[in-house]
């Protein structure tokens, strides 16, 4: 869950895969441009007030726009400046939302006419021409699959509905024989890409792909690019558990991120770290999950086994771009702290905070000295 908290600094609590960025003054379900009461008043300092008077509009007023896309709530927010008034900021946020929706139409599996659905529909028969964006995301996914020894694999969709952790959650275990059969269909190496023609082909007729573990990150990166092009220098963009923050708040303070306690009460956090010009993504076993026979089952499936990964409880990734953070969090979660941290350290400008299956906290080298551990994560199944 991602939310703003009150206080002398702002806290963003990053959750796993699904979440919502709001603040105490804004209803979580609101799907329109909003300006929280705490940000609606004129700047209090004499300098800010003078700047607002010269600009002819309030400076430092927070504008937020929430919409639904890619199966989650997408929240974009920024501030008015001397160059951009409220309407200009709203228009920029709207354009960024339109970009997210455009990418959803290309990469979702919920539309039969999406590029991903068209690839799946002719699996084993012929290649499909796609946009450079869809091609690039699939190519990036293969690169991450290779770096993670297959822990991240977009052909996990070949499992079908054996595990049901979405809105139609079923707290039952699939037939082991069916899992074994489906597992044989998973292999990122059977995706054939033609760089020159921008075509994609699945070699096996029973293989399927799903970009749910990487597309939201790419969409957030593109939304951030739109906001930069509009002249916004301080903003955040969030889709589910994927977050990108640029710049600082108008008063010069950095945003701070709160990392959710995997077994704590809903919304509680156990660690904090500052955020500036980086993406954060968290994968956790506490969302879309059930407990059966004293064991927790959750939506992060290890493509190498066909069963929920067991090495971690929570993984938060800090990276320069949201696409990398989105894909790497699942890979590190599945690999566990030893192999996962080795993967993180091999990537440029990437860090990780891991809570392993034994509730031990691991911090990568790049985040040492940045992360503040408030307390030991809560125990429990």
**pTM recorded for the entire structure:** 0.85
Strand partners, 105: none
Residue 38 CB-half CA count within 13 A = 13
Q: What is the pLDDT of residue 38?
A: 35
Q: Quote the Cα angle for 337-341-343, to 5°.
A: 125
Name the stretches of the chain with pLDDT < 70.
1-56, 167
Per-residue b or e along 169-198, where b marks 16 or more CB atoms closer than 10 Å to that residue's CB: eeeeebeeeebeebbebbbbebbeeeeeeb
Domains and CATH numbers, the chain: 115-149+176-202 (no CATH), 254-380 (3.10.520.10)
Q: What is the pLDDT of residue 49?
A: 53
Per-residue pLDDT reduced to its tens digit, 215-243 = 999 999 999 999 999 999 999 999 988 99
Per-residue pLDDT reduced to its tens digit, 317-363 = 999 999 999 999 999 999 999 999 999 999 999 999 999 999 999 99
Q: What is the pLDDT of residue 170?
A: 84
CA distance 250 to 291: 44
Instruction: Supply the DSSP symbol for 189.
Output: G
Per-residue b or e along 318-357, where b marks 16 or more CB atoms closer than 10 Å to that residue's CB: bbbbbbbbbbbbbbbbbbbbebbbebbeebeebbbbbbbe
* Residue 26: exposure state from Cβ atoms within 10 A (0-12, 13-18, ≥19): buried
User: At 60, phi and psi to the nearest 5?
Assistant: 90, 15
Whether 96 and 77 have beta carbons less than 8 Å apart is answered as no
């Amino acid at each position: 869950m991602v939310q703003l908290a009150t206080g002398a600094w702002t806290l963003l609590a990053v959750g796993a895969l699904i979440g919502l960025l709001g603040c105490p003054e804004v209803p979580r379900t609101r799907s329109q441009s909003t300006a929280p009461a705490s940000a609606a008043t004129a700047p209090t300092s004499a300098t800010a007030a003078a700047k607002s008077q010269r600009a002819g509009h309030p400076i430092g007023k927070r504008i937020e726009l929430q919409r639904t896309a890619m199966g989650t709530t997408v929240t974009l927010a920024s501030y008015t400046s001397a160059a951009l008034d409220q309407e200009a900021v709203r228009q920029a946020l709207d354009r960024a939302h339109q970009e997210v929706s455009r990418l959803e139409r290309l990469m979702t599996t919920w539309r039969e006419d999406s590029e991903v659905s068209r690839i799946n529909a002719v699996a084993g028969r012929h290649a499909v021409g796609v946009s450079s964006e869809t091609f690039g995301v699939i190519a990036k996914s293969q690169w991450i699959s290779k770096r993670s020894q297959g822990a991240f694999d977009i052909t996990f969709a070949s499992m079908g509905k054996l595990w049901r952790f979405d809105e139609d959650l079923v707290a039952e275990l699939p037939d082991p024989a069916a899992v074994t059969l489906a597992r044989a269909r998973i292999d990122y190496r059977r995706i054939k890409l033609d760089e020159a023609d921008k075509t994609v082909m699945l070699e096996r007729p029973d293989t399927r792909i799903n970009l749910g573990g990487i597309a939201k990150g790419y969409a957030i990166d593109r939304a951030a690019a739109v906001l930069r092009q509009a002249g916004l220098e301080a903003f955040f963009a969030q889709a589910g558990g994927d977050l990108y923050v640029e710049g600082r708040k108008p008063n010069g303070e950095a945003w701070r991120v709160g990392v959710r306690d995997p077994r704590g009460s809903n919304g509680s956090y156990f660690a904090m770290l500052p955020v500036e010009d980086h993406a954060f993504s968290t994968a956790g076993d506490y969302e879309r999950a059930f407990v059966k026979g004293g064991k927790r089952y959750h939506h992060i499936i290890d493509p190498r086994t066909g069963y929920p990964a067991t090495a971690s409880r929570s993984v938060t990734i800090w990276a320069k771009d949201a696409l990398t953070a989105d894909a790497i969090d699942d890979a590190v979660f599945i690999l566990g702290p030893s192999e996962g941290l080795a993967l993180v350290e091999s990537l440029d400008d990437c860090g990780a905070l891991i809570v392993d299956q034994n509730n031990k906290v691991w911090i990568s080298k790049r985040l040492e000295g940045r992360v503040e551990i408030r307390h030991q994560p809560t125990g429990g199944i």
